[in-house]
């Protein structure tokens, strides 16, 4: 099993890179674990309390469960990946049955922050995009897909996302084996990743 970690700031284009890699592999040979599925369970909190959580801090992630699930996949076990709702800021009752595959991709903004998780990755990729580009993408996504208010997104970006990015995400670029400057036409970087995957497999 080959485990690939793909990190980068919010709106950096991680999903685009994940999809480019997925397009190169047969569907039955790859599965994806998203860090977003592993936000801590917060059933004990009211909706108002949940909206105040700093979701861009490593403490917001249930790394123990994520590491445990990854270890189970390595042992050939099937896992029930949580399903998270950004509308309610909580896990749903549903789970995603995820089978072990030749290639496992783990993606998320904070996945290089946890040493135990980081050590499980065979390849570490960091997707880089400039600040303005990331803000624009985040703004469009949160308004269109998550029903957020523009002012709410900008306030959260200034008060939480930007300082958390500088403190917890940008420094983890140093752990990356490959840094991809996010440009949709960056075929060279994807070709390198594809070659590495082929060699490892």
Q: Indicate whether 201 belongs to any domain.
A: no
Q: Pick the more confident residue, 41 or 115.
A: 115
Q: Which residues of 151-189 are buried (b: 16+ CB within 10 A; e: fewer)?
A: eebbebbeeebbebbeebbeebbebbebebebeeebeeb
Q: Which domain, by its residues, includes 90?
A: 2-195
Q: How many domains does the structure of the chain reveal?
A: 1
Q: Indicate whether 133 belongs to any domain.
A: yes
pLDDT at 75: 97
Size of the chain in residues = 201
What is the percent of the chain with per-residue pLDDT over 70, rounded to a whole number?
Answer: 93
Asked whether the whole model's pTM tops 0.75, one would answer yes
Torsion sign, CA atoms 103, 108, 112, 118: negative
Q: Indicate whether 200 belongs to any domain.
A: no
The CATH number that applies at residue 176 is 3.40.50.300
Q: What distance in Å separates the CA atoms of residue 128 and residue 121, rounded to the nearest whole number?
A: 19
């Amino acid at each position: 099993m080959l485990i690939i970690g793909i990190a980068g700031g919010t709106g950096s284009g991680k999903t685009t890179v994940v999809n480019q890699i997925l397009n190169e592999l047969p569907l039955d040979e790859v599965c994806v674990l998203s860090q977003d599925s592993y936000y801590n369970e917060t059933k004990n909190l009211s909706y108002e309390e949940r909206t105040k959580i700093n979701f861009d801090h490593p403490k917001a992630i249930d790394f123990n469960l994520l590491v445990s699930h990854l270890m189970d996949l390595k042992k050939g076990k099937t896992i029930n990946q949580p399903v998270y709702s950004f509308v309610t800021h909580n896990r749903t009752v549903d789970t995603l049955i995820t089978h072990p595959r030749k290639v496992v991709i783990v993606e998320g903004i904070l996945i290089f922050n946890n040493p135990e998780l980081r050590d499980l990755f065979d390849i570490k990729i960091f997707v880089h995009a400039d600040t303005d580009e990331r803000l624009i993408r985040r703004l469009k996504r949160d308004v269109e897909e998550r029903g957020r208010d523009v002012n709410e997104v900008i306030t959260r970006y200034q008060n939480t996302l930007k300082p958390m990015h500088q403190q917890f995400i940008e420094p983890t670029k140093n752990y990356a084996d490959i840094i991809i400057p996010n440009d949709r036409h960056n075929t060279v970087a994807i070709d390198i990743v594809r070659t590495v995957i082929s060699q490892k497999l």
